[in-house]
Amino acid sequence: MKLTKTEEELMQILWEQKRAFMKDLLEAYPEPKPATTTVATLLKRMTDKGFIGYTNFGRSRQYHPLVKKKDYFSRHVNGLIKNFFNNSAAQFASFFTKETDLTKAELEELRALIDDQIKKK
């Protein structure tokens, strides 16, 4: 299952805070802040989708992520490679290195990361 753009924005805040009450989430938003009802709706949808959970404290809920940021991002990247690059990581890497504004230093850093992964296999 996937998050919408607004749900992802809220999820980013929750990943940073790890545990948060509604007031904490609202404070973390940049201006203009969304309405409390908007955030409550997002939290409900994200709970229903299984991305977040909560603990009740009286009438308040403390929310926490159920999905790790790395796992969510990994699923997205793998889906992107599958859907747009014929399931070819090489095609993705070719596109990424040619179509982005990477500096020589960044390309060298990528090479070092790839070389390190090759050594590990």
Residue 53 maps to which CATH number?
A: 1.10.10.10
pLDDT tens for 7-16 read 999 999 999 9
pTM, rounded to two decimals: 0.76
Nearest to 52 by CA among 66, 40, 38: 66
Q: Is the dihedral of CA 67, 68, 73, 75 positive or negative?
A: negative
Q: Are residues 43 and 89 in the same domain?
A: no
Residue 97 has what pLDDT?
85
Do 56 and 96 fall within a single domain?
Answer: no
Does residue 106 share a domain with residue 61?
no
Q: What is the pLDDT of residues 76-105, one digit of tens each?
A: 888 888 888 888 888 888 888 888 888 889
Condensed to tens digits (0 to 9), the pLDDT of residues 48-63 reads 999 999 999 999 999 9
**Claim to verify: residue 49 and residue 83 sit in the same structural domain:** no
Number of structural domains found in the chain: 2
Domain that holds residue 17: 5-65
- Residue among 87, 106, 84 nearest 97 (CA): 106
